[in-house]
Structure 1
Amino acid sequence: MHRLTYIFVLIIGLSLRAYGQDMDLQKAASLSQTRPDSALLLLRKLYIKAQEKANKPIEGQCLQQMGTICYNQGHYSQALDFYLHADKVFTQAGKPLSVAANMGDIGILYYYNKQLDRARSFYNKALSIYRQYHNVKGEAKILGNIGHLYEKQHRYDSAFYYQRKALEGYQRANFKQGAAKIYENLGSIYEDLARYDSAYVNFNRSLQLYREQNDQTGSIEVINNLGDILRKTGKYKESIVQSRRALQLATSLGNVYQQASSAKDLGKAFELMEQMDSAYHYAELSRKYSLDVYSKDGVKQTAFLQVLYDFNKKSDEIDRLNNIRKVNRIIAIAVTIVAVLLVILLMVLFSRQRLKLRDQQAIARQNAAEHEVMRLELKNQHLEEAALKQQLELRSKELSNHTLSLIKNNQFLEQLRASLQAMVKDERRDQKKQMQQLITQINENFSHEQHWREFTLAFEQVHQQFFESLRNRGLELTPADMRLIALIKMNLDSADIATLLGISTDSLRVSRYRLRKKLNISQGDSLSLFVQTL
């Protein structure tokens, strides 16, 4: 009786733990839409716990979701790394349907990178697995994705074929949300072919299914599409009604991207009706929403890049700790062997004293044991030297990663500054002041002191007492001079140095000339060679 009670409690505990993990994964998926950086942090914690408990399915799902977040943020290389790692974990765990779903995500990644052949290859693999296990819903999803491939290639007959096959699958599985998406896809194909009546019918069916599932986000886009069809067929007033409905729904959900799209469609409709005041109003409103989208995306990207950098850094640290554990296990085994050998040696000596026989053999064994101890001590010394070398390499890698992060950050700011400068030239005068303030803020971020303090700390760990030896020379060097010398010491090219310092290459040339004068370097001598010898 007690045993049955224990088994029952154990089953309940395992069920609650699995439920809690699923809830955490769902929370991360929901959070990824608004806070991708926070979602990535949550998934990393779940991933580490899954690794510690050897829970391969959860480990794979965490990797797959992290790949999807990176894909949605435009980091395709990192996303592909996560997806491929997830594929390996799912395969080891014996989860073929998870493998298929992950392959479908990889296919989508290649599709949006315009590598259609590779996308189709992964779609085919996923489709084969779904058919093998008679998973109708998964099969329908892949068929819809294949239909997208043909639509991209303007092969509309094949696109219709696969979209209708996908619709049949979703209807058999009674999955209305999937069917709604397929009707939306069919409407888009008909719209491309200028068959607006058919497009309108399919968009209406899609909207009806989305409403049945209370999917407001999906409904917004379909309502916008209905407005487009009405506008293209000259029904401007009906088009305005649909676009306003989409704008109101997007506003209630806080979906700024759809607000911008709806306002833009309203501006087009009013322009066609020659109501220029209203057209201008909604065009300006759309532009305002678009700027809000870019601003929020910029903030999200910065936070996400920092989390991604920390994630990679901590992953490297985990690998380093795992290597240390392996070394410690080897040392423990060696110590155990030595202890065993010593015990054997003592037993042999005790036996020799009692029997007073084979003295020469006992001495030989003792010499052999001492030789083994010396060999192990030498081996330990080599391991310590290897650990020190590994630590130095790790610090050099951290410095390189930190420098690369600074370069990427400044390159991003440089691109954004250039885009805003171009907008300043084109926009109306009352908008220029605000955009110029943004450019000023970007210029201030180029020389963020916190980044330089972190860089200086990492640099001094690799090149110890470098700055101190410079100061001891009695040279009157400014902090800017010290930064320039440190970057030259790292063998960075002029373009990367200019990006890190937030200056142009011409300004960098002037800074190098002034530095040569302070260091008393002759005209024919190389500044870089001089710095490398410090």
Structure 2
Amino acid sequence: MNFRPFEAIVILCLTLLTIPMVNAQPQPEGSTTGVDDLCRKAEQKLFTHPDSAFVLAQDALRTAEREHYAMGIANSHRIVGEIFYHQGFYYEALNHLQKAETFFESENRETQRAQNLNQLGLVYYNIRQPDVALARHREALKIYEDTKDLSGMAYTYGCLGRLYEKKQRYPEALDFQHKALAHYEKVNDIRGTSTILENIGSIYEDLEKFDTASHYFQRSLHLNELTRDSLSMIVNLNNLADVYRKTGKNEPAITYSTQALKLARRLNDKYQVTSAYKDLSKVYSQAGLYEEAYQSLEKGRTLYEEIYGEETRRQVALLQTLFELERKNGEIQVLESDRQLNSVTKVSLIAGIVLLALLAAAIISRQRLKIRQDKEVIERKESQQKLMQAELENAHLHERQLQHELENKSKSLTAHTLHIISKNKMMEDIRAKLHDTLQEEAKEQRKKITNLVKLIDHNFVQDKDWDDFRSIFEQVHQNFFEQLQKISSDITASDARLAALIRLNLPSKDIATILGISPDSLRISRYRLRKKLKLNAGDSLTNFILGI
């Protein structure tokens, strides 16, 4: 076969490219120990500095892939998945955790695989696939049972218990939590025991068995005091305050919430400080201390805005780190391409001085084209990055605007509700005084005062404030009344008012005052509403309406 000169040169170049090159490829840097150290450092920074943890995990992943270190690859993917999970990027978390699952399974590392399966279960629950989440937790439990890992079994039982609690299947939830408690007590894990006691207390609180819930919360608090776990103590105190508030014991509720607030301030834990302010606002409102309730609500709202801003900045920082890594990876690829081209040039020189000029011209031409293409790729990536950053900032701005509008509407709804309560209490006082007067005045006066009482009674029912209240309520709780009508077409306007006030989680005393009826009449109204909603004897009307 005859070749033209240029074809011969190309074939010779391709032949030279296939010759094994000594020292052409970079030697692996670091070791498996280095990968493990990077993973440990990333885990230490996972919650405090997620952007730094992400960089360390990515470095560990690249090194592990270069060294073909399967366990390093698996652990790196798992850590990256957990970072994305805690930042709310669930589908990215799912992608990395599934990759980790593949490597753990291929390496037959059952303990690490079970841990990863539990994390996958948490991710699947958050993307609204509870059945898949349940399957992952059960698979993890099977591994721990086969390996007789009591601590792993206890943790997985706790995960299963929380999953069934979210599904409101409380008997199964309690069964799993008690199994977890027994295993933690068997291995003498105080922290695990206190966590499960807290979980069991929460289930009994949902079941409105407040004395039992308080018992478990107190046991959990005692263990956390022994281990000086201040963060868990805050959760215990807030839950105890909630139980006392729901049972109408305002003074101990205020005491526990105040203790939780002081401890959260000392730890500078803004999430828990916000939670304590929220609980204080509820109990102050229940106790009729509306000024203190409003102040606590305002302080909590202000702090929530700070937390939201910090969360947004952390997420933006993580995305920025991701974009920077993408850009640097592109630059590294360009440098590696350049290094390979230089190696080819050296090998080509060995072929002979005769081909030097032609080979140099071909390599230079190819190198220029490669650099130009890489430059265009980098410019496109930078342009896409700027566009994505602008879209991200616009999305966050829109989200903050929506959050601000919702908070304003919630504040307006709260103020409007308090106004109705105050007005109706005043009307009750007037009506009571008029009834007293009826016992003493003359017949003519009795007639006039009786008409006045009827007018006040009419005002309770036909007050225009209800129209304003419904308008504001529908802005905050959209489609609530439509959903109510879909559940039962027999719902009347009075039933809708009662359901709306229950949705606001108001005490029965305040609901009776707003509706202008007695507590006995309120109980009858609640009973009629339960029948229309077709609730079973053991179902909670409040929990049902809060779930609409």
Q: Partner amino acid for 2:205?
A: E
Q: Distance in 2 between matches of 1:162 and 1:219?
A: 23
| Other-structure match for 1:102 | 116
Q: Partner amino acid for 1:116?
A: P
| Other-structure match for 2:294 | 280
Deviations 1:193-249 (A, max 9, x none): 101111111112222222233221122112100110111112211111111111111
Deviations 1:141-187 (A, max 9, x none): 12211122211211111111221222222222322212221111111
Does residue 72 of structure 1 match 2:56?
Answer: no
SS of the equivalent of 1:234 reads: coil
Does residue 201 of structure 1 match 2:215?
Answer: yes
| Other-structure match for 1:152 | 166
Could you tell me which of 161, 172, 176 is aligned with 2:175? 161
Residue 283 of structure 1 and its aligned partner are, at CA, apart by 2.0
Asked whether the equivalents of residues 77 and 99 of structure 2 are also in contact (C-alpha less than 8 Å), the reply is yes
Could you tell me which of 208, 215, 236 is aligned with 2:229? 215
Could you tell me which of 40, 58, 65 is aligned with 2:54? 40
Summarize the Cα distance change of 1:382–1:294 in structure 2 as closer, same or farther, 3 Å threshold: closer
| Other-structure match for 1:249 | 263
Does residue 290 of structure 1 match 2:304?
Answer: yes
Residue 280 of structure 1 and its aligned partner are, at CA, apart by 2.5
Residue 39 of structure 1 and its aligned partner are, at CA, apart by 2.9
Residue 47 of structure 1 and its aligned partner are, at CA, apart by 4.1
Alignment of 1:118-267 (within 5 A): 118-267=132-281
Q: Partner amino acid for 1:190?
A: Y
Stretch of structure 1 that moved more, 409-418 or 240-249: 409-418
Residue 269 of structure 1 and its aligned partner are, at CA, apart by 1.4
Asked whether the equivalents of residues 161 and 173 of structure 2 are also in contact (C-alpha less than 8 Å), the reply is yes
Q: Distance in 2 between matches of 1:423 and 1:234?
A: 27
Unaligned stretches of 5+ residues in structure 1: 1-13, 344-369, 429-534
| Other-structure match for 1:407 | 391
Residue 407 of structure 1 and its aligned partner are, at CA, apart by 1.8
Could you tell me which of 285, 302, 314 is aligned with 1:300? 314
Deviations 1:340-381 (A, max 9, x none): xx79xxxxxxxxxxxxxxxxxxxxxxxxxx9xxx99x99998
Q: Partner amino acid for 2:172?
A: S
Summarize the Cα distance change of 1:116–1:278 in structure 2 as closer, same or farther, 3 Å threshold: same
Q: Distance in 2 between matches of 1:420 and 1:111?
A: 28
Summarize the Cα distance change of 1:134–1:295 in structure 2 as closer, same or farther, 3 Å threshold: same
Q: Distance in 2 between matches of 1:305 and 1:337?
A: 44
Structure 1 vs Structure 2: percent identity of aligned residues? 30
SS of the equivalent of 1:132 reads: helix
Residue 118 of structure 1 and its aligned partner are, at CA, apart by 1.7
Residue 100 of structure 1 and its aligned partner are, at CA, apart by 1.7
Q: Distance in 2 between matches of 1:418 and 1:272?
A: 29
Q: Distance in 1 between matches of 2:141 and 2:191?
A: 20
Summarize the Cα distance change of 1:306–1:337 in structure 2 as closer, same or farther, 3 Å threshold: closer
Q: Distance in 2 between matches of 1:107 and 1:244?
A: 36
Residue 319 of structure 1 and its aligned partner are, at CA, apart by 6.0
Q: Distance in 1 between matches of 2:247 and 2:58?
A: 50
Summarize the Cα distance change of 1:387–1:91 in structure 2 as closer, same or farther, 3 Å threshold: farther
Q: Distance in 1 between matches of 2:192 and 2:364?
A: 61
Deviations 1:372-431 (A, max 9, x none): xx99x9999889867865664454344334422322222222332454466578879xxx
Q: Distance in 2 between matches of 1:279 and 1:296?
A: 26
SS of the equivalent of 2:257 reads: helix
Q: Distance in 1 between matches of 2:222 and 2:130?
A: 32
Q: Distance in 1 between matches of 2:332 and 2:183?
A: 44
Q: Distance in 2 between matches of 1:385 and 1:25?
A: 39
Deviations 1:475-532 (A, max 9, x none): xxxxxxxxxxxxxxxxxxxxxxxxxxxxxxxxxxxxxxxxxxxxxxxxxxxxxxxxxx
SS of the equivalent of 2:248 reads: coil
Deviations 1:302-359 (A, max 9, x none): 222212322344345556667777x669x75x987996xx79xxxxxxxxxxxxxxxx
Q: How many residues align?
A: 381
Q: CA RMSD in A?
A: 3.8
Alignment of 1:430-441 (within 5 A): none
Residue 295 of structure 1 and its aligned partner are, at CA, apart by 2.4
SS of the equivalent of 1:74 reads: coil
| Other-structure match for 2:380 | 396
Q: Partner amino acid for 1:188?
A: S
Deviations 1:37-69 (A, max 9, x none): 233234334444545555543443333222212
Stretch of structure 1 that moved more, 185-194 or 298-307: 298-307
Q: Distance in 1 between matches of 2:379 and 2:106?
A: 34
Does residue 90 of structure 1 match 2:74?
Answer: no
Q: Distance in 2 between matches of 1:422 and 1:233?
A: 30
Q: Distance in 2 between matches of 1:272 and 1:424?
A: 22
Q: Distance in 2 between matches of 1:273 and 1:307?
A: 49
Stretch of structure 1 that moved more, 413-422 or 265-274: 413-422
Q: Distance in 1 between matches of 2:107 and 2:331?
A: 26
Q: Partner amino acid for 1:301?
A: Q
Summarize the Cα distance change of 1:135–1:235 in structure 2 as closer, same or farther, 3 Å threshold: same
Summarize the Cα distance change of 1:337–1:31 in structure 2 as closer, same or farther, 3 Å threshold: closer
Q: Distance in 2 between matches of 1:84 and 1:282?
A: 44
| Other-structure match for 2:328 | 314
Q: Distance in 2 between matches of 1:315 and 1:48?
A: 10
